[in-house]
Amino acid sequence: MEKIGNGLRRFGLIGRNISYSFSRGYFAKKFEGLGLENHRYENFDIQSIDEFTSVISTTENLIGLNVTIPYKQEVMPFMDELDTSAAQIGAVNTIKIEGKHLKGYNTDAYGFQKSLEPFLKTYHTKALILGTGGASKAIAFVLEKLGIDFSFVSRTSKSGGLTYEELSEAIVNDHLLIINCTPLGTFPNVEDKPAIPYEFLGPKHLLFDLIYNPVKTEFLNLGEAKGASILNGLSMLELQAERAWEIWNE
């Protein structure tokens, strides 16, 4: 095991099955570019949120963590303090550690808003959010802020939401912004896609997929074939990572 000097600053990602993760490579490159030889970023691949406390207690010199699927909501009770937006969203994707004090933040909302706004047109007034997990909460928070009406879509009917079976031509034509917050289509399961009626898509639609690997999912491919504008999650991911870096260094 490498000897931990007082000068070492450690960061990491909490998630499950995260060997594919963007964050570790991104921050390793960042540290190298900034000449920060005493900085490390590692994956903490845990099978259950119950392992979170041991990561915190056994990892010396830990400054900050990112949190990914499926723990953005489950990690919240472990926080000593929540940033306003994390509390409002109900999901944490960034943790700042000072001594034994853990403060939870949500930088997904920031990343999503900054990456979406340049592509919004005046007719993007209604959205469909596919999926109801932790990531979808940050998306809903941003859309509300931007004054865009939205409906959640999931496999089973949940209060106030739609099911995939209920997506008629009229509904799809009325909701010109469609955001995939499900993991469907993520590498290696690249054939998977949300079960929306793609035949009703057209040139005014904007499809945003939070997935970044592959860069073009089947969801985006099928939208593009119908003339829709498409965006993957890479820019959002980079922006939220930069915001996390700022928070850790504040």
Domain positions in the chain: 9-106, 110-235
0.85 exceeded by pTM:
yes
Mean pLDDT taken over the chain:
95
Buried b (16+ CB within 10 A) or exposed e, 160-190: eebeeeebeeebbeebbbbbbbbebbbeeee
Rounded Cα distance between 99 and 89, Å, is 26
What is the predicted pLDDT for the residue at 235? 97
Q: Which CATH superfamily is domain 110-235 in?
A: NAD(P)-binding Rossmann-like Domain (3.40.50.720)
User: Tens digits of per-residue pLDDT, 154-205?
Assistant: 998 876 799 999 999 999 999 999 999 999 999 899 999 999 999 999 999 9
Residue 21 pLDDT grade (very low, low, confident, very high; cuts 50, 70, 90)? confident
Residue 20 has pLDDT above 90, yes or no: no
**What is the CATH code for 9-106?**
3.40.50.10860
Please say if the pLDDT value at position 47 is more than 60: yes
- Taking the C-alpha atoms of residue 162 and residue 101, their distance in angstroms, rounded to an integer, is 40
One-letter amino acid identity for 184?
L
Are 38 and 7 within 8 A, CB to CB?
Answer: yes
- Domains 9-106 and 110-235 are alike in CATH topology: yes
Give yes or no: 72 in active site: yes
Is 74 buried (19+), middle (13-18) or exposed (0-12) by CB count in 10 A?
Answer: middle
The answer to whether 126 and 150 have CB atoms below 8 angstroms apart is yes
**Of these residues, 3, 30, 72, 96, which one is catalytic?**
72
Q: Band of the pLDDT at 6, cuts 50, 70, 90? A: low
pLDDT of residue 5 exceeding 60, the answer is no
